[in-house]
Structure formats: structure tokens, C-alpha cells
Structure 1
Amino acid sequence: MTPELQTPRQTDTVLHTENLDIFYGSFKAVRDVNIGIPKNAITAFIGPSGCGKSTVLRCFNRLNDLIKTFHINGKIFYKKQDLYASDIDPVEVRRQIGMVFQKPNPFPKTIYDNIAFGPRLLGYKGDMDELVERSLKNAALWEDVKDKLKALGTDLSGGQQQRLCIARAIAVQPEVILMDEPCAALDPISTLKIEDLIQELKERYTIVIVTHNMQQASRASDYTAFFNVQANDKGQRTGYIVEYDRTEAIFQSPKHQATQEYVSGRFG
């Protein structure tokens, strides 16, 4: 049975899906995703490994296009525009919907050139020095690096590298920032700094974060979608959304037993 569209009680959504099924070849990896992502809020995707959280996330900026066997049924809309329409340029999609990955991945370039790379590629005509400074300030990194912009980004600490990657995403002026386990490779202090940064960024951006960390989801997000996985008779595992609501509802009064078991650590 296809669930109804699960959208928090907020009409201003930036992304939404309709009856989304995600395939790799003939294998259905995720089924029946109907979800709306609110503007200027932090939405967390939680659930066990293999439930499709990152797969759905990467559909939002068409990164899955890089996988030859990938295809979808259903629709994904960004501000009412079909992201998978034939006339849509995936490169432009990725400019407006940026991505920060699990492991910090600064380019082997200077800190300055890490930030300037995307804008240069897109033909930015403004003041590059001002853009670099603003992006680093927005990522809470400027004070750490303002005197060493010619140093390699790879020489920064892990937490600083991740903030550099966030600044790099910000520099191309997206509306949405997707974050796939952005703190998984970081120590607890760096993790808290990233979480504080995410809270500041939601004033200007819509953020979707995948996390296995229940405490992080409960601390850092406004809305939470719980994904689960179901195996068929061939042993193939397909992900689906169990429940989507405000974060406090998911963690304090979930509607489904599976959600309750997962957020309380009794899952499985």
C-alpha cells in the first residue's frame, strides 16, 4: 500500500517526492517514498543500515545518476519543478542543492582555492576575496584560517576540514545543503561544533542530514524521518519510510512500535 504524502504541518516545502521508488537495475532499493522537506529547517533521516537513507538523499541532487544501473519511478520536485525532467541540467541541480559527505574531502589545494573552485567553475564575476571570506565566516572557520588561506586544506584538522567542505558548498550559493553522516569521522568536540554550525545555517539554508546517531538527530534536527528495511523472499532488502514528524514527536511519542524500538535502542 502506498502511504499518503508525509509532510510536517508546514506548507512551505522546498523538496518533495511522490510515490518514489528507487532501483538499481531490477532491484528495488527503496519504495513508496512520499515526503516533503520544509524550508529553513533541519530534517534528519534515521534508520538501520541499508534502509535507503543515503540513497534518497543522493536522489535530491541527482548524485545517483553517476551509477549506471540507477533509475527511479515516481517524482521528485524541487520548488515544484520535476528534478528528473528531461530538460533539467544535473549540474545546475547540484549547484542549488549542495552535498557534504561523511568523510571530509577537501581538494588538494589551498584553503582559498577550495572555496573559490566552484564559483570559478560557474563563472562567478563578483569579488572572490569577499566571497571566500563570507563563506568561511558562515562555516565558522574564518577565525581559524584567515591568516593561512594559502595553506593546504588537507593540513587542517578533521573538524576544520569538514567545516571547509561546508564552506565550499556554501560558496556556490545553494538553497539546500544535504549532509550524509557529516560527523561520523569526527571526534565529539568537533561533532558538537558541526551541530552548532548546522543550527546557524538553517537560518539561510534548508538542511537534510543522514545520521546513525540518535542523540545527534534529537539534538540537531527539527523534523525526523525514520526509515526501516524489509526483506523479500529472495533476501533482497528494500527500504521505506515508517514515520515522519517533528523530531520531538518521533523521539517522545512515535506512532509506530518500530520507531519506538529504534529510538529507544531496542530495535532488532
Structure 2
Amino acid sequence: MTSRLQSARQTDSIFRTEDLNIYYGNFLAVRDLSIDIAKNSITAFIGPSGCGKSTVLRCFNRLNDLIKSFHIEGKIYYHDQDLYASEVDPVEVRRQVGMVFQKPNPFPKSIYDNIAFGPRLLGYKGDMDELVEQSLKQAALWDDVKDKLKAFGTDLSGGQQQRLCIARAVAVQPDVILMDEPCSALDPISTLKVEDLLQELKEKYTILIVTHNMQQASRASDYTAFFNVEANSKGQRTGYVVEYERTEAIFQSPKQQATQEYVSGRFG
């Protein structure tokens, strides 16, 4: 038995869910989720508020474990290993599956220390200066900050702060990057910079992104899952996937009427 995730096998799918039901106590938040997430791709989760997009996203790095009432039925596989098996260490999961949140959240430290924090915590033995530079370059931020690495990350603009958070995520050399509405607080120019950055990052990483922005999903992603929500007799709302396909199919020739209505702006 080992507390670390086993070595990745080279398969087309990096995550696979089978008949996944997500609960908070007795409340069924998301039902019957069976999807594969392709490696080195960008997968977008779209759908109306309350349909469980962020809940599903946080299952992939076990961040929901921090909520006492959370539990799942069914399976989530990461490189064909049960992500929720008893021997799997959630902390190791979160090292390999990084997270970028809706609101930029740089640490109240220098730009350099924001990037170096995670690698130091993990006992990184290489050249830290080189790692910081490489991470900032991957986040398309190096040219903006190379002469002010001692300045606080919180002094950067909103778009720069979010790219700093992306650089911080890649510094620990993850396998996957999860992004929960990463551009919702950004202006259109900063949003496009982040979207351009995603296209470069997917060469090395698998990216999952939750977004309410239909244009962003259609521009930036390779695959799109459309979630919808249904209410029971008690008014409890449960999310489910209506359609999951390559992005051009979802936006140009969806199979389900609900998908067509959502992506065309007729509901949601």
C-alpha cells in the first residue's frame, strides 16, 4: 500500500467517472455522471447556476473532502486508479491536480515568493531562480515582472494577479490544472490573454475550466460538457450532464434541444 498516487499510464483519458453521484449529507448535488476527460486538452463545463459544475470540478482534486457532509457514490479514476481509494493521499492528489480560483488570490508575499512557496513546501532541490523564471514564462508574465520580483503579488493588476496564480500552480509541476471561473473578475483584454495562455499550457497540462461565458467556452475549449439542473418535489436542485461532446459539436450541432437553447442564450 502506498500513500502516493501510482505512476501515470499513458492513456487517452486522464480522468474517468463512472455512475458518479455527489452528495452533501442526504442531498444529491449531481447525479449519474459518466464522462472521460482527454489528456492535453481543455474541457469546459458550462450550464446554469446551481447545476454542480464547480462541485464536479472540485471532486477531481478532492477539495470537496474538506466539507464534512460530502460523499460520493460511483467512481472517479485518475490514470485508471481509483481517486478515492483509501490508500490515496488527498494532499498528493492536490499536488498533481492544481487549482486556479475565480478571484485571483496571490499570497501577501513577493512575486518571487508566491512562485517559490509550493516548491519549497515540497522540498524542491533544483535551481529556484530558474524554476520561478520558467513558471512565470509559462504564465506569460515574465516580461511584465522580471524587474520587480521583490514587489508584492497583490500590487499587480487583476489580470496579472490571475496569471501569477497560474504560474504558482504550474511551479509545482502538476499533471492537471483545474480553473473555476478564472476570468470572471477580469476585463476583456485580460480574459483574452488568459485564453491565449491556456492554448499554450495544454501542450504540457490537461485543463478543466468552469465558465459561464459561452464565447469563452467556444473559443478556448476542445470539449464541452453542458450541465443542467432539475428540482425534486422538495425544491432541491440536482445537476446532471445533458450533453458532452467536442466543443464545435456542442455549439454548432448539439443533439439535445436543451443544449441548443442554452448555448443560443434562450435559457439559463
TM-score by length of 1: 0.95
Q: CA deviation at 1:261?
A: 0.1
Residue aligning to 2:192 = 192
Residue aligning to 1:5 = none
Gapped runs of 5+ residues in structure 1? 1-10
Do structure 1's residue 147 and structure 2's residue 143 form an aligned pair? Answer: no
Residue aligning to 1:267 = 267
Alignment map for 1:11-26 (pairs within 5 Å): 12-26=12-26
Distance 1:47 1:116 in 2: 36
Residue aligning to 1:255 = 255
Residue aligning to 2:114 = 114
Distance 1:160 1:201 in 2: 16
Q: CA deviation at 1:181?
A: 0.2
Alignment map for 1:122-133 (pairs within 5 Å): 122-133=122-133
Distance 1:251 1:267 in 2: 15
Secondary structure of 1:143's counterpart equals: helix
Residue aligning to 1:180 = 180
Q: CA deviation at 1:90?
A: 0.5
Secondary structure of 2:73's counterpart equals: strand
Q: CA deviation at 1:267?
A: 1.4
1:71-107 deviation digits (Å, cap 9, x = unpaired): 1001111101111000111110001000000000000
Q: CA deviation at 1:166?
A: 0.1
Aligned residues: 258
Alignment map for 1:1-268 (pairs within 5 Å): 12-267=12-267
Secondary structure of 1:234's counterpart equals: coil
Secondary structure of 2:173's counterpart equals: coil
Distance 1:75 1:125 in 2: 36
4+ residue runs over 3 A deviation: none
Residue aligning to 2:3 = none
Percent of matched pairs sharing the same residue: 85
Q: What code does the residue aligned with 2:177 have?
A: I
Distance 1:119 1:84 in 2: 25
Distance 1:89 1:116 in 2: 23
Distance 1:89 1:123 in 2: 17
Give the RMSD, CA atoms, in angstroms.
0.7
Distance 2:248 2:177 in 1: 22
1:163-185 deviation digits (Å, cap 9, x = unpaired): 00000000000010000000000
Q: CA deviation at 1:65?
A: 0.5
Distance 1:125 1:188 in 2: 39
Residue aligning to 1:6 = none
Q: What code does the residue aligned with 1:111 have?
A: I
1:116-147 deviation digits (Å, cap 9, x = unpaired): 00000001011100000000000000000000
Distance 2:227 2:203 in 1: 26
Secondary structure of 1:116's counterpart equals: helix
Distance 1:83 1:131 in 2: 29
Secondary structure of 2:68's counterpart equals: coil
Q: What code does the residue aligned with 1:40 have?
A: N
Residue aligning to 2:7 = none
Q: What code does the residue aligned with 1:181 have?
A: E
Distance 2:156 2:82 in 1: 39
Q: CA deviation at 1:195?
A: 0.3
1:25-66 deviation digits (Å, cap 9, x = unpaired): 000000000010000010000000000000000000000011
TM-score by length of 2: 0.95
Q: What code does the residue aligned with 1:46 have?
A: I
Secondary structure of 2:192's counterpart equals: helix
Q: What code does the residue aligned with 2:125 have?
A: K
